[in-house]
Structure 1
């Protein structure tokens, strides 16, 4: 399984182009993410989006935006004019989440049939705040056996059933 989740900053505005044969939109942008250790240089990676997700990327994402990108990691071989081959990594995006300055999260998802949706995600409440808010409600307190059966906190599910087919 090839699945990659990356939090990065867009360092080059997305460029939109179209395939010559079917006029399928393709957006390309460069992102940068910090090194693993202190003092390690940051790394840059080319991100590509296809179809309606490409149009969403071009319209809603700009240089300086912080994003979380989900997709497939691939390696492209390029023949250099100097006579050698260069291998470059490329992330083919399936979902992009915009990290706002106020810690809000906006999601753009590639769905089948070239449809895209934008879903504002509400920040999840930590278990400690969840317990405080239920204590103030008019619900009767739970017994020890009831609280052991049900989790105190569960994250909302935002996974679509299928993804866009990505042409290679």
Structure 2
């Protein structure tokens, strides 16, 4: 089973769009996480939330906020401008836990059975 937990910092605020067929909300945001070794650059990742979780991302998450995120990690193949293909990681969000000063003591958001 693919289940990941990451501590991240939001670098691009969530944006919401809707599917064409049934108007399901989809939120996307960019996050950064600390490297494993000193001297390495921080990692960056696209995070995607669906449905009610997308709305919560839009309403509760802002740039600079630190979060603990849970979900699934997958690799997408994307075409580049030079005709080559590039693999990029994408994180599908299942639960969201604000940490630090932004944490309000509210329960985690998301689908507990995801």
Query: What SS does structure 2 have at the residue aligned with 1:35?
Result: coil
Distance in 2 (CA, whole Å) between partners of 1:3 and 1:29 is 19
Residues 104, 36 of structure 1: alpha-carbon distance in 2 compared, 3 angstrom cutoff: farther
Question: Number of residue pairs matched?
Answer: 113
The structure carrying a bigger strand percent of its residues is: 2
Q: Where does 1:104-143 land on structure 2 (aligned, <5 Å)?
A: 105-106=105-106, 107-110=108-111
Matched-pair contact (CA < 8 Å) for 2:13–2:30: yes
Distance in 1 (CA, whole Å) between partners of 2:77 and 2:40 is 26
Structure 1 stretches of 4+ moved >6 Å? none
- Rg: which structure is higher? 1
Q: Which has the higher contact order (CA 8 A, sep 6+)?
A: 2
The structure carrying a bigger helix percent of its residues is: 1
> Structure 2 regions of 5+ residues with no counterpart?
none
> Structure 1 regions of 5+ residues with no counterpart?
111-159, 164-168
TM-score when normalising by structure 2: 0.92
Tell me what 2:85 maps to: 85
Distance in 2 (CA, whole Å) between partners of 1:60 and 1:102 is 10
The CA deviation string for residues 38-75 of structure 1, in whole angstroms up to 9 with x for no partner, is 11110100000000000001100000110000000011
Q: Could you say what the CA RMSD is over the residues aligned between the two structures, in angstroms?
A: 1.5
